[in-house]
Structure 1
Amino acid sequence: MKSRFVLNAIALAIVGAGLAYGGYWAGSHRKMPETSASASTVSGAAGGKIDPKTGRKVLYWHDPMVPGQKFDKPGKSPFMDMDLVPVYADEAGAEGGVKISPTLQQNLGIRYATVRRAQSTDALEVVGTTQFDESLAEVVQSRITGYIDRLYARAPMQRVKRGERIASLFVPDWIGPQEEYLALKRSGNEALAAASAQRMRALSIPPGLIAKAEQAGKAQDHITLASPVNGVIAELSVRDGAMVSPGMTIAKVAGLDKVWLVAEIPEAMLGSARPGMAAEAMFSGDQRRKYSGRVREILPGVSTATRTVQARLELDNRDGSLTPGMLMRVRLGAEKPVSRLLVPTEAVISTGKRSVVLVAGDNGIQPVTVATGRDIGEETEILTGVMEGQKVVASGQFLIDSEASLKAVLPKLAGTPVPQQQSAPQAAQQSGGQAYHGVGKVEKVSPEGITFSHQPIPELKWPAMTMEFGKPRSDAFPDIKVGQDAKFSFKEGKGGSYVLESVKPSGGGRK
């Protein structure tokens, strides 16, 4: 009965007042229209009035959905279609705060954390992918017109070593100048032979090929092109038998002694990254493999799709363990530590427009808007809003928010006994005032009460719902059975409980 009554009371508050998440805290930060009741501008505007129904001292009246606005007398709420609710002196915390009893704290699982100051480095945890170091790339080009007689590199991404053959070219245009040079050498005319050699160099005939022709005594019509560096064939533009022309790229060879790691840095953290910053990279597939490097440059431009900026890092790869396209975790760190104010990340409530923490102090629990910095592990940096040593709520914030919003229905936050702690006979004896009437179907009968799925009750502005009503005695209404349709009347007991006065079958349902 206890848990069901709590749930029913919560449902009443949500339906009657249009409860929305965050209403308790948000209401204290917006301006309210003028009302028919006189709004109070100071705490305790009611002047210590006594509620004739309860005999308790009233500090002020308010709308639970807009707790920041106080009124000095009862009346209708200008914000919701409901009566203003009194705030009693024995249940109100300090101005703007919420008091949580130790029992409720334990039941809600509320934990506190202390705002602390710690030294940490400007370390960024990002991800990146490896790429070829374009500054180490070399191209193999043809300087003459010829034909690919034989292609030794068969496909892109093939590994090659420095001096390894890429292609063999047949160059028919070199045959005539070489034969002319050899004839002049045999004639003994050194002057003409020197002029012929000069013309061959102008035709891009390599000196080594000329020397080979002199040694062999016949013209050389083939030239072999080799890789200038150790690496892989990044591009291969020709096939066997293809014709090449001066300036045409036959292959592009990418060196692997160093590779680039392009890391994606969130736009908001761009100020924390700079060229020259030390970096440590780990391969996602094997975190034991770590590589050290530095940020070479921050590339201009922000990606509109990911809202990130690319940082180009240079990693040593002389062991050849890195290849392009590898996904890596990157930690960019600074040498000098920085003092920061930290709270657990779970203590920060982000609404999208602002960030809030619940600060616990002598005045109860109060919401405080903070400016957050970066996340460091499981903690978040706080730039403004709180001070070192303050206590903040680390868990149970949303339960506190809900409890505070329902304070008028469930006065547990004031540490007072909840209505369900009373026995039904006691509630019946203390009940009084107006009787209310309803019609509904009996869902459950127990010694403590009867549960009805009842129709709307206009007198209380209740919608149709299922809730339990207390019995005046455990043996009351013995003829009422589950499944019957019944008319019933009830009164409000002390603390907001509802006790049945009469229950009569109305026909229909199970007899």
Structure 2
Amino acid sequence: MSGALRFLMTALVAGGAAWGGLAAGERGVTLASLRDAAVAQVSALTGRGAAAMPAAEPTGPVIYWRHPDGLPEWSATERQTSDGRAFLPVRASEDLSLDPDAATAAPEAGERSILYYRNPMGLPDTSPVPKKDSMGMDYIPVYAGEDSDDGSVTVSPGKLQRTGVRTAEAVLAPLAATLRAPGIVVLDERRVSVISLRADAFIETVADVTTGSTIAEGAPLVTLYSPEIAQAIAQFVTDLRAEGRPIDGARQRLENLGVPDEVIDRIAAEGRASVSIPIMAPRGGVVLERMAVEGMMSEAGETLFRIADTSTVWVIAEVPEAALTDIVPGTEVRISFRGLAGDPMTGRIDTIYPEVDMMTRTGKLRIALPNPDGRLLANMFADVEIMLAGAPVVQVPEGAVIDTGDRQVVILDLGEGRFRPEPVTLGRRGDGMIEIVSGVAAGDRVVSAATFLIDAESNLNAALAALAAPEADQ
């Protein structure tokens, strides 16, 4: 055959293929009909019969049925035309597919032996022959090498790449866990003073202080007159003037009545009695309560003032009962206040209260914080973050754990595309990691991303069900 004739034949074949593609798009012709048309054209040009051309036998399952005349009519089930002719079956090898694995799927299935067919929804139901489930879905074949007694499954590298599967190594390290708890600011109970009298007295004057005022230590609060104190002062002065008479008893009586030492020393130096007795602030701080009123009669023990030193305050945090075992005094905490802007304050747990609330089942922690500028006010809300630390533990990313409701499972990477579900016991969580108490050892690789995609692709649901249910009859 000359070169010109070959060129002419090539052009005619290409034109026929183009015409066939157009007809396929307009009339719904299948790949088989296009191939038959091309064979017929080549046969006409070369003078050879169509029977001499080798034709591939359609393979694969029937995927749909087409109209016998090539009309754009298809059916998912067997049916007939209006004149009683049956639709023609179209097998997998006859249909066009954009899946790059479709061309290799049929020969690969032919090379491997099918062990059984599994339920497409992951139920523990298998069949030795092809079948459909109640929704009409075909059971999925399981080939030799894809199933094992330990519940492992094999996923092809192509599927792993398409699903974006990533793995991570289980590590042995301290878990950087953070426990968040609500807190409230309270006054340091060791820095609160109550001013009261030890004898009945009349309040003569009250200093210009009110609730919320800040006073210094030793500042005058009230002056008073008490008949009992006046009598004790007169006895003290008499003993001073009498030569050779001891004064220790009279001085002790004044101290027992609450007369300040400065007032007693002044009376001893002047040698004369004083009717009005001043009462000074025993500490500096903020006046929390003022009950003293000029001219009032105050009985012994009645509160006149309450003063608190707010240079140091406490934060009381409440944590769940189950978390108390992981907390020890001295644990570092970070505290932020809803009413204050700025960076959180840091401190350490000072005391763990030795009781659990019966209603809330929480325990209380106490953190002492410096408050030199007085910004922290009593009863302010606080958010407390407790930095839990401990011995190294086996931990994996939180995304590696599948929670099935009644148990937790991770997917172990066995290498070479093999995976196995492994039940685990979980511990604490923190900073995106979770402690594995049992089930996984340090150094094991687990699937950390696309775990549920692997579950769908590889039917790990069936493997998970097999862990708790008897193996189905095959």
TM range (shorter): 0.5 to 0.7
Tell me how far 1:310 sits from its aligned partner. 1.7
2:115: which partner in 1? 59
Q: CA deviation at 1:229?
A: 2.4
- 2:410 matched residue in structure 1: 357
Q: CA deviation at 1:158?
A: 3.4
* Structure 1 residue 204 displacement after superposition: 4.7
1:372 corresponds, among 410, 422, 426, to 426
Whole-Å separation in 2 of the counterparts to 1:351 and 1:154: 66
1:209 aligns with 2:209: no
Cα distance between partner residues in 1 of 2:236 and 2:291: 34
Matched residue type, 1:209: V
In the superposition, the TM-score normalised over structure 1's length comes to 0.55
Aligned-pair CA distance for 1:273: 0.8
Which residue pairs with 1:291 in the alignment? 346
Gaps of 5+ in 2: 1-109, 463-474
Alpha-carbon distance in 2 for matches of 1:161, 1:353: 64
Structure richer in helix, relative to its length: 2
Query: Are 1:160 and 2:218 matched, yes or no?
Result: no
1:361-398 per-position Cα deviation (integer Å, ceiling 9, x unaligned): 34733332211222231211211111233332223333
Conserved? CA contact 1:153–1:167, under 8 Å: no
Give the aligned partner of residue 231 of structure 1. 285
Corresponding residue to 1:264 among 318, 326, 330: 318
Distance 1:89 1:198 in 2: 101
Structure 1 residues 83 and 330: alpha-carbon distance in aligned structure 2, compared to 1, 3 A threshold = closer
Q: Secondary structure at the match of 1:380?
A: strand
C-alpha distance in 2 between matches for 1:206 and 1:230: 17
Pair 1:257–1:207, CA change in 2 (3 A): closer
Normalization by structure 2: what TM-score?
A: 0.59
Moved more, 193-202 or 293-302: 193-202
Assess if the C-alpha contact under 8 Å between 2:170 and 2:445 holds in 1.
no
CA RMSD of aligned residues (A): 4.2
CA deviations on 1:143-179 (whole Å, 9 max, x unpaired) are 1112333443744443332222333334344445545
- For 1:116, give the aligned amino acid: A
> CA shift at 1:296, angstroms?
2.4
Aligned residue number for residue 103 of structure 2: none
1:357 Cα shift?
A: 2.0
**Are 1:248 and 2:302 matched, yes or no?**
yes
Aligned residues: 346
In 2: Cα distance, 1:185 partner to 1:92 partner? 112
Quick check: 1:94–1:364 contact (8 Å CA) kept in 2? no
Verify: 1:68 aligned to 2:145, yes or no.
no
> Which of 371, 381, 388 is matched with 2:442 structurally?
388
Q: 2: CA distance between counterparts of 1:68 and 1:98?
A: 14
CA distance in 1, matches of 2:312, 2:374: 9
- Higher strand content, 1 or 2: 1
Q: Distance in 1 between matches of 2:177 and 2:358?
A: 22
Q: 2:334 aligns with which of 270, 281, 290?
A: 281
Q: 1:165-202 CA deviation, whole Å, 9 max, x = no partner?
A: 3333343444455456657877x576498876676566
Kindly indicate whether residue 201 of structure 2 is the aligned counterpart of residue 146 of structure 1: yes
Distance change (3 Å), C-alpha of 1:115 and 1:121: closer
Q: Cα–Cα, structure 1 residues 73 and 376, in superposed 2: closer, same or farther, change >3 Å? A: same
Report the CA distance between 1:233 and its aligned residue.
Answer: 2.9
Q: CA deviation at 1:301?
A: 0.3
Q: Deviations over 1:302-337 (max 9, x none)?
A: 4644x5322222334456564432524444455xx6
Relative to structure 1, the CA distance from residue 272 to residue 139 in structure 2 (aligned partners, 3 Å threshold; closer, same or farther) is same
User: Which residue of the partner structure matches residue 165 of structure 2?
Assistant: 111
Q: Give the distance between the partners of 2:210 and 2:362, measured in 1 at CA.
A: 35
**Counterpart in 2 of 1:312?**
366
- Going from structure 1 to structure 2, the CA distance change for 1:207 and 1:316 (only over 3 Å counts) comes to closer
Provide the rounded CA distance (Å) in 2 between the counterparts of 1:282 and 1:206.
42
Q: Deviation of residue 107 (structure 1)?
A: 4.4
Q: Secondary structure at the match of 1:368?
A: strand
* Cα shift readout 1:414-452 (whole Å, capped 9, x = no counterpart): xxxxxxxxxxxxxxxxxxxxxxxxxxxxxxxxxxxxxxx
1:62·1:84 contact (CA, 8 Å) conserved in 2? Answer: no
What SS does structure 1 have at the residue aligned with 2:399? helix
Alpha carbons 2:214, 2:287 under 8 Å: kept: yes
CA separation in 1, counterparts of 2:461 and 2:259?
95
**For 2:111 and 2:278, how far apart are their aligned partners in 1?**
108
In 2, Cα distance between equivalents of 1:268 and 1:194: 60
- What secondary structure, in the 3-state scheme, does the structure 1 residue paired with 2:392 have? strand
